[in-house]
Amino acid sequence: EGTPMITLTVLTQSGSIADLDQIRDALSSYNRCRGPARHAFMVLNGLKRYVHVDALVGYDPSRLADDITRNIQLALGIVGEEANGIDAHEGLFGLGRRDFHQSVHTSEIIAAIQNVEGVAWVKLRAARTLPLASPPETDPLQIPLPNQLLIPAPLLLCPEHSLLALHSRHLVLSFVSAAAQAECPT
């Protein structure tokens, strides 16, 4: 109606309406009691949109594949491995590096994997945003892996009020010895 409004997209741990209502109530209270009360607030529920990544990784056989896997998980910023001591907050899909509605180029995924020590080359076999169910299913353990690989598009689009994320269940890594694949092995 021609008056400014502040829209805030919030990602809560639970994703529940009750948490969203608490945030909405707190902001309204601050606006009314501590601020100039000039603007209306709209608080929207943010969603994690999970992606599927399937990569073939050529690695240095003098390194342990488990160490390389762990470092790739850190570089990509996966969730779901916190119990195993992996805090990938600053990885490519980590909350420290993502913004709402921020898309990801597949070249960024390749670069994140390629920059891990011990990785010689990367072939991205699949990369896509996984569809949400209706109502939106945001539990990554309930979102199945695609049953077919698609040629990755150059860009993984992120819808409004969403944040791209990668769960360990949706990351498929296959390893090949770079030395065995070399044209002229030494």
pLDDT value for 2: 74
The more confidently predicted of residues 17 and 175 is 175
Over residues 68-83, mean pLDDT: 91
Please give the pLDDT value at position 147.
72
Q: What is the pLDDT of residues 123-147, one digit of tens each?
A: 999 998 888 765 556 677 777 777 7
Whether the predicted pLDDT of 90 surpasses 60: yes
Answer yes or no: are the C-beta atoms of 53 and 153 closer than 8 Å.
Answer: no
Bigger pLDDT: 40 or 177? 177
Question: Over pLDDT 70: what percentage of the chain?
Answer: 88
Predicted local distance difference test score (pLDDT) of residue 48: 86
**Confidence tier at 103 by pLDDT (50, 70, 90):** very high
Inform me whether the pLDDT recorded for 184 exceeds 60. no
The pLDDT of residue 137: 63
Q: Which residue is listed with tokens 């501590």? A: 34
**Which residue did the predictor score with more confidence, 146 or 160?**
160
Average pLDDT on 100-115 reads 94
Q: What is the 3-state secondary structure (H, E, C) of the chain?
A: CCCCEEEEEECCCCCCHHHHHHHHHHHHHHHHHCCCCCCEEEEEECEEEEEEEEEEEEECCCCCHHHHHHHHHHHHCCECCHHHCCCCCCCCCCCCCCCCCCCEEHHHHHHHHHCCCCEEEEEEEEEEECCCCCCCCCCHHHCCCCCCCCCCCCEECCCCCEEEECEHHHEEEEEEEHHHHCCCCC
Q: Tell me if 162 sits within 8 A of 103, measured CB to CB.
A: no
Report which of 54, 79, 97 is spatially closest to residue 167, judged by C-alpha positions. 79
Residue 13 φ/ψ, nearest 5 degrees: -60, -45
18-58: pLDDT as tens digits: 888 888 888 888 777 776 666 777 888 888 888 999 999 99
Residue 57: per-residue pLDDT: 95
Which of 30 and 110 is assigned the larger pLDDT? 110
Please report the pLDDT score of residue 52 as a whole number: 92
pLDDT of residue 33: 77
